[in-house]
Structures are given as structure tokens and as C-alpha cells.
Structure 1
């Protein structure tokens, strides 16, 4: 483990505030050097409350701060907003906060097919963006400078959130706020298609039954929904700029996902940056990967700054 990440694991608690500004008990595993507001409920489905946490800018560099929203991984059926503390993710959040960005880490309903599908998870992500648009003034957020960021299943969801039309997903009509215009999107080791068999080779997505909890049935039965959940199929000439990063030794989601997205985006005229880390497995695991996690984080931060900060303000 790199010294930076050893240091990071030592910064494991902080006194945080809830959305009302009141102190609450220290929460383990939250970096003490970041300004965090946690437990903000943005949506409720039945008894299930969906929450997000905000990472506020460490220095005021903009009248209104750009916003980057992180979407966690976990196979669509696991994980929570605290996945943002992964070593390959929190470095990006920290760097963006130092650049004057606001960042958010959001939750979504975990997919089980009974009845929650991947399309419901997308709707929750889009609803979180609309909630943040509505509450932008109180958090000093610039609603014209929005990016999304995700890893693994969250990499897939961040792409669909940025590329898909809100009307194609079961968003909550009671959540007020304008739809967010996403200017750029970064995805780490994502799945980019539910219909391209090559993207699913090398993992349990080769099993047809793996689609049932995600789509509510087999691919042959749910192809229309699968197309709406396939980032490659959602690309248009006016799609936001994309960064995709993947390891060439990934045994969970093949690196073909990154190269297929790159090729499809280039064919549509969509600007895309593609980072392939040699020797890296899923989550950029590996002892001697190149580029390293720190290098990938630097490129990702630079990508968001390039697209969300006017040249005169950099």
C-alpha cells in the first residue's frame, strides 16, 4: 500500500454535522481533513430513506462551486455512500475539494429484482441530482457546472445518469427541481453494455441468469430495458465529455468495456479520455500497476477541472 493510502486509513474519524447543522456522534472511517455534511435525505420510497453526504470546498475559489456527484459500486446490490472512501476514489474527492469543488456521495435503492431493478437505481441517481439542483443556493453550487463520477456498478450508473433521458426511467415526479445538465462524466472500471456479449465475458455476466435481478427477466425478454441501461447505446453527438479508466487485468469486468466505450464515443464524435492501467485488476488492484492510482486520480481531477472550471478561473 502506498504511503498516501496508509495515511488515509489513519484519518478514520471526524465530528460531522447533519443536514440541520447539529452535531452527531463521530462516524468511523470519515477523513478528518474534509468538511462533511452527512445524512441528507433526498428521497423516500416507502419506508426506505435515501441519503447523501456533501464534501464542501476546503477553500473558496469560486463564487459558486462546481459539483461532482459520486455514485458507489457494489454489484448493483450492495454498497452505500461510504464507498466514496475507497483509496481510488477519495483521492479525487480530496483534490476536487482543494480546487474549490463541492462533491456529493449518494445512495440508491439496491437492486434485487423484487421489485427494484437497475432502472430504479438510475432513477434514484437522477432524483439525487434534481434534489441538489433545487438546494444548490443553500450549498453555493453552480447548477451549470455539474459532473458525475462512479466506480464499477456505480461507473455504469454514472454513465447512464449522465447520458440517458430522465423520461426513460421511473423518476419521482414529486421531487421538485430542474433536471441537471451533466457537462462531464468519469467512470472507473464500468460495465458499458447489457447487450454486447463481449463486454460481459470473463465474469459472471456470462450467465444469462445474472440479468434477472437487474432487468426483471432474461435479456431476451427485457432487451428494450437493457438498451436503455447500456451506456454505449445512449451515446449521441451532444453527449457530455467522458473519462473512462480500467485495468487490463480486470477479471470482474473486462477492459473491453473501456475500449468499446472509447471506440463508440469516438465514432459518435463524443470527446473521451481512456486510461488503461497495465497490470491492474478490478478496483485498480495490483502491486505494480501503471498508471498508478495516484496518477489516475490526478488525471481524473484534471478532467473535471478542465470541463467544469472556466479557463480564467483555473
Structure 2
């Protein structure tokens, strides 16, 4: 075999072996990173479900703090898809870039994707919490401030970021090898989230109207998994003293109705929890749509201002 053909065959074999080794639903394609961002990729924070879970860390463009505050981004994808590279989406990377310019570090994490056999949303929450716990434990190594951590997420990640910030670590199957005191999340920003697994009214007008949609998330029907559903419902986790919340949603969203954001706003306000709620007129899921108001740039600016207010 000639050398060019040998190299072509070897390359094909390597690509095939990588694809076979990848967990189901996890992309093996590494996208092109923006050249203006300082990134450390593939930091493994735990092993679970037969795979290593890792994260990518966006370091500040300039050092403006002795110890950099941190925002942990949690991707969407219906709990059963997506990966840490969704942070490069247009509606997300602008927030990361602006935070980096203000001296804030950001991380984008992997978590176990939900299939209900046996992985449920409870495991995904544990992974998100463990990523935050890992970064807090290794704060000195990466120049981070473990006392100034916020979380940020979109869609399914919008739900997970709320539960990560609002839920108590003891209520989820977190990794006991990541030791140390519980991490207190300073603030949380959430885009177009589901805020309750038990309130059927909030699921109207979306694909969650079908009860079977919750089966893989809970590992069984709601009637049998109600206690778990409550622990996975951000609106049920609100307590006086919960961290400040920023929530943004589009009023034309047919995947997750914007009534979720309004319900979260009302429940948080009733408990005295600081919350900012932004509803973009004409915006669909992912803030899609022409001439949405406010536009994406303003949504991002409001998100950044909120996070800076509570982390600087």
C-alpha cells in the first residue's frame, strides 16, 4: 500500500474508533474556538455511568481580580442531547465573552444525558452540582474565587442551572469523593426553563403536555415519582435566602411556555427572593424570531449586568 493510501486508511480507522468510543448522544466533533478566548479544555471533574465527565474553562481576558469570580454554564438539549460546546451558540457565547472581558471566568460542563434507563434528571443535577463543587475545590489551581460562583443555563440547562443553585447537595446523588463544605451559589441566570415537573398548567402549550414526556426524566410516571419531581422543580426549591435569579423567556416559545418564567417570578417575589424577569416579545425558543423585543443583544447585556452585580 502506498504511503498516502496508508495514511488515509489510518485516519479513517482513528475516526471510527473515536466514534465507537463516544457515549451515545455525545458529539465527537470539536468545533472551532473563537481566537479571542482563552480556553482550557477537557478538564475531567468526575467519572460516572462508565464515562469521564469534563468541562472547558474560559479564563478572563485580563486579570482584574486576585481570584476570579466564576460563572458555570449548563447546556440545553432536552436533557437527552447536547454537549459543552453549545456554549458557542450565538445567544450564549456573547455572554461568556463579555464576562471574560470583565475579569469573570466561565466554565461549560458535560453531564450525563437522560435516557431513563437508568440515568434520570436527578443524575444530571448531581453532575452539574459536582462540576461546581470540583471547581470550588480546585479554585486555587485555576485562580478562581470559590465564594463567588454563579450558574447560567438555557432550556434544559436553564432548568438544571436553577436546581443546581437552589437545591441542597444532600438531596441529590453527588459524588462523595469530591469533598468539602457545600458550595453556596451566589446567583443564577436561566434562559427559557421548565420550572416545575408537577404543575401541569405550566406545561400547557408545549410538548410537556404529554405525561409520557416526563417518564425518562423521572425514571417512571409522575404518580410514582412525585417526591423526586418536587426535588427537580425549581419553583418548589425556592426558600427565603435563595440566591438572586435572572430569568429570560420568549412569549412565542412553543417548546416551553413563557408562563414558566412568570410563575417563577411570582413565586420568588412572594418569598422575598430578588428576581429579574425579562420576556422578549415575539421570541421563540432560543430567542429565535425576527425583530424580537428586546433583541438578543439587550438580553445578553441584561444577563451580564445581573451576573456582574452579584459577582463583582
Q: Deviations over 1:187-231 (max 9, x none)?
A: 000000001112111122111111110001111111110000000
Aligned counterparts of 1:134 and 1:234: Cα–Cα separation in 2: 25
* Cα pair 1:34 1:55 within 8 Å, conserved: yes
1:94 alignment partner, one of 97, 107, 120: 97
Q: State the SS of the aligned residue for 2:186.
A: strand
Aligned counterparts of 1:287 and 1:174: Cα–Cα separation in 2: 48
Structure 1 partner of 2:194 = 191
Is 1:171 matched up with 2:174? Answer: yes
Aligned counterparts of 2:171 and 2:100: Cα–Cα separation in 1: 33
Q: TM-score, normalised by structure 1?
A: 0.89
* Cα pair 1:134 1:178 within 8 Å, conserved: no
Listed as ranges, the matches of 1:86-125 within 5 Å are: 86-125=89-128
1:71 alignment partner, one of 69, 74, 77: 74
* Structure label with greater radius of gyration: 2
Aligned counterparts of 1:304 and 1:37: Cα–Cα separation in 2: 22
RMSD between aligned alpha carbons?
1.0
Listed as ranges, the matches of 1:206-217 within 5 Å are: 206-217=209-220
Q: Deviations over 1:261-287 (max 9, x none)?
A: 000000000000000000000000001
Q: Deviations over 1:50-76 (max 9, x none)?
A: 010000000111111100000000000
Q: Is there any run of 5+ residues in structure 2 with no aligned partner, and where?
A: 1-28
Is 1:34 matched up with 2:37? Answer: yes
Structure 2 partner of 1:22 = none
Aligned counterparts of 1:232 and 1:28: Cα–Cα separation in 2: 35
Aligned counterparts of 2:49 and 2:197: Cα–Cα separation in 1: 29
Tell me by how many angstroms 1:107 deviates. Answer: 0.8
Q: State the SS of the aligned residue for 1:28.
A: coil
* Cα pair 2:49 2:112 within 8 Å, conserved: no
Structure 1 partner of 2:142 = 139
Equivalent pairs counted in the alignment come to 284
2:260 alignment partner, one of 251, 257, 270: 257
Q: Deviations over 1:8-32 (max 9, x none)?
A: xxxxxxxxxxxxxxxxxx9433111
Aligned counterparts of 1:67 and 1:204: Cα–Cα separation in 2: 34
Listed as ranges, the matches of 1:149-168 within 5 Å are: 149-168=152-171
Structure 2 partner of 1:266 = 269
Query: After the TM superposition, which segments of 4 or more aligned residues of structure 1 sit over 4 Å from their partners?
Result: none
* Cα pair 1:65 1:142 within 8 Å, conserved: yes
Tell me by how many angstroms 1:46 deviates. Answer: 4.4
Aligned counterparts of 1:169 and 1:95: Cα–Cα separation in 2: 32
Structure 2 partner of 1:47 = 50
Q: Deviations over 1:233-254 (max 9, x none)?
A: 0000110000000000000000
Q: TM-score, normalised by structure 2?
A: 0.90
Q: Is there any run of 5+ residues in structure 1 with no aligned partner, and where?
A: 1-25, 310-314
Aligned counterparts of 1:27 and 1:78: Cα–Cα separation in 2: 16
Structure 1 partner of 2:291 = 288
* Cα pair 2:70 2:150 within 8 Å, conserved: yes
